[in-house]
């Protein structure tokens, strides 16, 4: 297709570089080792976005905000290096772009929790401008509750009461006939 002087060539969609090594490391990491993945890949927006989501899921808004800001900054730097300008689309359909979009959403959530309302509004606007469908996709696919440690939160429910000892190896008493029948 030839382009005349009156026409401009179609803009290439913004796409972050794929990070297969980081994706693999994150898929093999448990919650406690995500920071190690970031340490091994400190320029990865994906690793920082994952760390931001993890901090958010643990209720650490300050950490989530800081990690998300780093992820957004790294992603924007990479996008700008490839010709992207702020305000241009960053499509969710490209899996590698999800690091940037998730980081914007993590920044928005954390800023709101910290009372940084203008910052939260700007992140929400940037996310909407990048891909209007991204907020709904993130809400349905990357909710903080999907990564909350259930065992850690429930451990307190099964811990011995204060002032009691946990005992092991003692046989349990057999219920008497009245208890077994459900009578009081």
Specify if 55 maps to a domain. yes
Mean pLDDT score of the chain, rounded to an integer? 81
Specify if 25 maps to a domain. yes
Write down the pLDDT at residue 142.
Answer: 67
Q: What angle do CA 37, 20, 151 make, to 5 degrees?
A: 45
Specify if 9 maps to a domain. no
Cβ count within 10 A of residue 159: 10
Query: Measured between alpha carbons, how far is 16 from 32 in angstroms, rounded to an integer?
Result: 26
pLDDT tops 50 at residue 11:
yes
Specify if 34 maps to a domain. yes
Write down the pLDDT at residue 151.
Answer: 35
Band of residue 5 on the pLDDT scale cut at 50, 70, 90: low
> What's the chain's length in residues?
184
Band of residue 13 on the pLDDT scale cut at 50, 70, 90: confident
Cβ count within 10 A of residue 55: 23
How many domains does the structure of the chain reveal? 1
Specify if 113 maps to a domain. yes
Q: Please state, for a pLDDT cut of 90, what percent of the chain lies above it.
A: 66
Nearest Cα neighbor of 73 from 95, 106, 116, 40 is 106
Specify if 4 maps to a domain. no
Average pLDDT over residues 4-14: 58
> Higher-confidence residue: 37 or 164?
37
What would the pLDDT profile of 45-88 be if each residue is shown by its tens digit? 999 999 999 999 999 999 999 999 999 999 999 999 999 999 89
Band of residue 184 on the pLDDT scale cut at 50, 70, 90: very low
Specify if 60 maps to a domain. yes
What ranges in 82-133 are assigned the alpha helix state H? 98-113, 117-130
Average pLDDT over residues 111-135: 97
Band of residue 12 on the pLDDT scale cut at 50, 70, 90: low
User: Domain containing 56: what range?
Assistant: 20-151
Specify if 73 maps to a domain. yes
Write down the pLDDT at residue 141.
Answer: 84
* 145: Cβ contacts below 8 Å, ≥ 6 apart: 57
CATH number at residue 63: 1.25.40
Band of residue 169 on the pLDDT scale cut at 50, 70, 90: very low
């Amino acid at each position: 297709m030839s382009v005349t002087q009156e026409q401009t060539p179609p803009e290439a969609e913004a796409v972050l570089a794929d990070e297969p090594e980081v994706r693999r490391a994150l898929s093999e990491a448990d919650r406690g080792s995500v920071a190690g993945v970031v340490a091994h890949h400190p320029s990865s927006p994906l690793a920082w976005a994952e760390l931001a989501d993890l901090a958010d899921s643990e209720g650490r808004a300050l950490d989530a905000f800081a990690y998300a800001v780093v992820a957004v900054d790294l992603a924007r730097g990479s996008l700008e290096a490839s010709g992207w300008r702020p305000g241009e689309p960053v499509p969710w359909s490209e899996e590698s772009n999800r690091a940037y979009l998730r980081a914007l959403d993590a920044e928005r959530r954390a800023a709101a929790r910290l009372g940084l309302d203008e910052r939260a509004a700007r992140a929400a606007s940037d996310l909407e401008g990048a891909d209007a469908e991204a907020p709904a996709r993130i809400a349905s696919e990357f909710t903080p509750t999907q990564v909350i440690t259930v065992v850690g939160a429930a451990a307190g429910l099964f811990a011995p009461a204060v002032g009691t000892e946990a005992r092991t190896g003692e046989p349990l008493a057999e219920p008497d006939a009245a208890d077994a029948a459900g009578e009081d």
